[in-house]
Structure 1
Amino acid sequence: MSAPNLFLIYVTDVERSTRFYSDLFGIEPILTTPRYVPFEVAPGVLFALWSGRADTVTPSAPRSSEVGLMIPAARVEDTYTTWSAQGVTVVEKPHDEVFGRTFVIADPDGNLVRVSPLD
């Protein structure tokens, strides 16, 4: 069986979210369409923004997933400081969890982005 290689984030404004994630992660999309924008995050692995059917993805639609960025533990606090200075919406300030120091921000649609130390 193959491993998952496409991770979709539902967004309401593809252009706004493309700018947000491009700036946040310092990456550029490999393709831009009006409703789908993929970023290659590893060879053959895509992180993509998808508006789906505009009538089903609204700002009030509940979000049930979280994007994870695992980085060296020593960089967690610095990343929080950098992103906070950029004006991101902080959901959880840095704190200790069973897996180490972590924090959570939200994208413009309320999708969560968690930064944590490498496993």
Structure 2
Amino acid sequence: MATPNLFLIYVTDVERSTRFYSDLFEMEPVTITPRYVPFELAPGVLFALWSGRGDTVTTATPRTSELGLMLPGSASGVDDCFAAWTAKGVIVIEEPHEDVFGRTFVVADPDGNLIRVSPID
């Protein structure tokens, strides 16, 4: 059976979002097109920005999913990531705190898409 290998994030401004995610994750996209920008997470697995639905997706659209970054190591690694990202000016949704799976925080991209950082399960 096939497994998912493409994760799309709807954005209203693909250039702005490309700069945001390139800086935040310190990675470059595979390619850049006017409405679609993929980043390779692992061989054959892409995270992509998509502005092709910009006419129906706005910053006011509620975001009900999260992009997750699970970090190896201790809770201090999550706190270090939070400090680095807040220095870059991210929008903080949830400050670092303890949850059932460990230390975590949530930020948002310029369109309100949520990004959660937590320890590796």
TM-score range, shorter chain: over 0.9
Q: 1:111 aligns with which of 79, 93, 113?
A: 113
Q: How many residue pairs are counted as aligned between the two chains?
A: 119
Match of 1:66 in 2: 66
Match of 1:4 in 2: 4
Which runs of 4 or more aligned residues in structure 1 lie more than 4 Å from their structure 2 counterparts after TM superposition?
A: none
TM-score (norm 1): 0.96
CA contact (8 A) 1:66 1:111 kept: yes
Between the aligned partners of 1:61 and 1:33, the Cα distance in structure 2 is 24
Q: What are the within-5 Å matches in structure 2 for residues 43-58 of structure 1?
A: 43-58=43-58
Opposite residue 48 of structure 2, the aligned amino acid is: A
Between the aligned partners of 1:78 and 1:8, the Cα distance in structure 2 is 27
Percent identity among equivalent residues?
A: 72
In structure 1, list runs of 5 or more residues that go unmatched: none
In structure 2, list runs of 5 or more residues that go unmatched: none
Match of 1:86 in 2: 88
CA contact (8 A) 1:73 1:116 kept: no
Per-residue deviation, 1:52: 2.0
Between the aligned partners of 1:57 and 1:32, the Cα distance in structure 2 is 20
Opposite residue 53 of structure 1, the aligned amino acid is: R
Between the aligned partners of 1:60 and 1:98, the Cα distance in structure 2 is 30
TM-score (norm 2): 0.95
Q: Deviations over 1:50-91 (max 9, x none)?
A: 012331122222222110000024211100011111111110
CA contact (8 A) 2:14 2:50 kept: yes
